[in-house]
Amino acid sequence: MKKVVFLVLVALLVVAAFGSADTWGVGAAFGIDALGGLPQQALLSLKAPQLPILWGVGFQLNENQFNMGVTADWWLYTTNLAGMLNLYLGPGIYAALPDPFELGGRVPIGLNIYPIDAFEVFLEVAPTILLISNRGGITVPDLALQGAFGFRFWFNT
């Protein structure tokens, strides 16, 4: 029951955060294992242009286990490289919980294109620094890499 309440609260926070935006994006991010993956293998990707934060939220649920991964990235710098190819980068954080519990910082560096106005495709790599962990055998802080690709659909409200 606690898990259901937690999921409902997370959903309400997401709706509240993005409900006031004029334009918002929703899609998916998939971890690239060769580059270190993501806190979860697949994340729901949410972004509102009025807020420079790109959210990623993923859950793993079964009858004996609950795990969650979250990323929150600030696109501090964005630029058009050529044609429809764009670059973004900036600071971010990530968390995985409850097992393993990890909290760290990341710097996503990504390329994205908009083949049509309402559809974005992206590829990113993010150097990370693990700050807190409950896993044995890890020296904190620990440097690593995360990588992902994905897509977002954009909507005007």
Q: What is the mean pLDDT of residues 111-116?
A: 95
Return the CATH architecture of domain 2-156.
Beta Barrel (2.40)
Q: What share of the chain is helix, strand, coil (3-state, %, to 5)?
A: 15, 60, 25
Nearest CA-CA partner of 44 in 83, 79, 7, 84? 7
What residue spans define the domains of the chain?
2-156
Q: Is the pLDDT of residue 8 over 80?
A: no
* pLDDT tens for each residue of 42-96: 899 998 777 778 899 998 877 787 889 999 999 899 999 999 999 999 999 999 9
First and final CA of the chain: distance in angstroms?
34
pTM of the predicted structure, to 2 decimals:
0.78
